[in-house]
Amino acid sequence: MLRTSIIKENTPEIISSLKKKNFDGQKIIKKIIETDNIRIKIQKELNSLQNHMNSLSKEIGICFAKNNKEKAEKLKSESGKLKILIQTKNDEQKIAIKKINQLLIQIPNIANKNVPIGNTEKENEIIKNFGTIPKLEKSKLPHWELAKKYDIIDFEKGNIITGAGFPLYKNKGAKLQRSLINFFLDFNISNGYTEYLPPQLVNEASAFGTGNFPDKEGQMYHIEKDDLYLIPTAEVPLTNIFRNEIINSVNLPIKLTAYTPCFRREAGSYGKNVRGLNRLHQFDKVEIVQLAHPEKSYSNLKEMVKHISNLLEELKLPFRLVKLCGGDLSFSSALTYDFEVFSAGQNKWLEVSSVSNFESFQATRTNIKFREDSNLNFCHTLNGSALALPRIMAAILENNQTESGIKIPESLYKYTGFKMIS
RNA sequence: GGAGAGAUGGCAGAGUGGUCGAAUGCGGUGGUCUUGAAAACCAUUGUACCGAAAGGUACCGGGGGUUCGAAUCCCUCUCUCUCCGCCA
């Protein structure tokens, strides 16, 4: 959420940054500024009325103490009138604040100046390619065929148990999944991230805090009976650990990591994009989150990008780093890099990580501040997948397929206890 | 799920209708003393909004009500604790 004070101070810059995200903010921002000026006017009036009321009440108290009932009654009738005025002003103020907030939450985060202009993923900027794309036999298979061949993922049983998009891992497939989780967590921990195992259901305030609610409400599973949401990513509980907190600046950056299953309704998805492990309703992911000093958040972002590159290099997977254009940027993000792994069985790039700087957008919604000397300011929040499991699994299966089976990346040996799936 | 008790500043903990934004202790910060430190002593120490400032206003879990006046009384919601029931 943007703050009214910032909007007022940088109106033209904000409107033009929002354009990059294909958001026309002209009207809504004008409305916010107008309403805020009304709010200030109301508050001034209200404060002076309240001030008057407070001194009257004190006086009445003194009159009673001195047994001067006559004067007390007279003052009482005066304050009665004031009371009605105050109530009216109070209601007006509440309405104005509510109106401003309703407008503010509709505005996406502004794009960083380095975000490329563009409307769709076609205009994303490919920064760099890493690794080499494997040359496979003509008989190469996509991962869903391989999964069947080696009996490691049962999609049909998942359909029976739950429905489409809920795969059932088994045998070495289950072990490989568990190994990847542990490998990612250990790698993150050894780079200074603190491990958490958070709740997988969150309340509305938490979902609001990270910007998933109300904007992407339809993408989350909602438990109506208890009014809770299944997390679409560990970002939601991790960021909300610090909701309404003031952090001492010496403790920044705070670095967190967590493994959680993630649940997404993926309303509107169809076709080959949802084949196999490509897009699921439930999947495993290890996430990293940072709470950062505003002046350092972009170097922290760089560090996170490097960290994720290292992780993918450990797995010997070919990948590319992509900078998202304005139109492809999410509601809350100011700058996002995607990591895409090349999966040779399908001949396509699969997004396995998305690393973003949200600047103070989420911190404003969650009210996470830091204290430096005697000043209070909003933190910056950042997060990234390190990494999302299913597509990594898909790429490992597809890229490492051989006549004799699937080769496990060396870094995983100590976790899997086996070197081949055959 | 049933019955009861409770929620006060960073923490502990007073306050049951008036001058209470809130005693006191601990912690934090600054200072005095000291070669240095500890101890002791002094001062200071919540957040938001309005205001150039002085200052003003709001906030004692959330929301609503009674009252001229609410941390204090009433209603309601949420959460915590104790007991009973159920249970991995």
Predicted confidence at residue A79, as pLDDT, reads: 86
Is A281's pLDDT higher than 90?
yes
Specify the amino acid at residue A191: N
Predicted confidence at residue A272, as pLDDT, reads: 65
Nucleotide nearest to A56 (CA to C1'): B68
The rounded mean pLDDT for chain A is 92
- Distance in angstroms: CA A379, C1' B32: 38
Between CA A360 and CA A378 the distance in angstroms is 6
- pLDDT for A85-132, tens place per residue? 999 999 999 999 999 999 999 999 999 999 999 999 899 999 999 988
- pLDDT for A321-368, tens place per residue? 999 999 999 999 999 999 999 999 999 999 999 999 999 999 999 999
Predicted confidence at residue A81, as pLDDT, reads: 85
The set of residues with CB closer than 7 Å to nucleic strand B is A 5, 40, 43-44, 46-48, 50-51, 53-58, 60-62, 64-65, 76, 79-80, 83, 94, 246, 369, 371, 376
Domains recognised in chain A with CATH numbers:
4-104 (1.10.287), 121-421 (3.30.930.10)
Predicted confidence at residue A274, as pLDDT, reads: 74
Tokens encoding A222: 């909602």
Q: How many CB atoms lie within 10 A of CB A131?
A: 16
pLDDT band at A408 (very low <50, low <70, confident <90, very high): very high
- Distance in angstroms: CA A368, C1' B40: 39
Q: How many CB atoms lie within 10 A of CB A330?
A: 18
**What is the sign of the dihedral through the CA atoms of A270, A276, A282 and A283?**
negative
Answer yes or no: are the C-beta atoms of A343 and A143 closer than 8 Å.
Answer: yes
- pLDDT for A151-209, tens place per residue? 999 999 999 999 999 999 999 999 999 999 999 999 999 999 999 999 999 998 899 99
Answer yes or no: are the C-beta atoms of A329 and A115 closer than 8 Å.
Answer: yes
Answer yes or no: are the C-beta atoms of A343 and A399 closer than 8 Å.
Answer: yes
Between CA A396 and CA A392 the distance in angstroms is 6
- The region of weakest confidence among A105-109, A234-238, A267-271, A316-320 is A267-271
Is A275's pLDDT higher than 70?
yes
Is A372's pLDDT higher than 90?
no
Q: Quick one: average pLDDT of A210-233?
A: 87
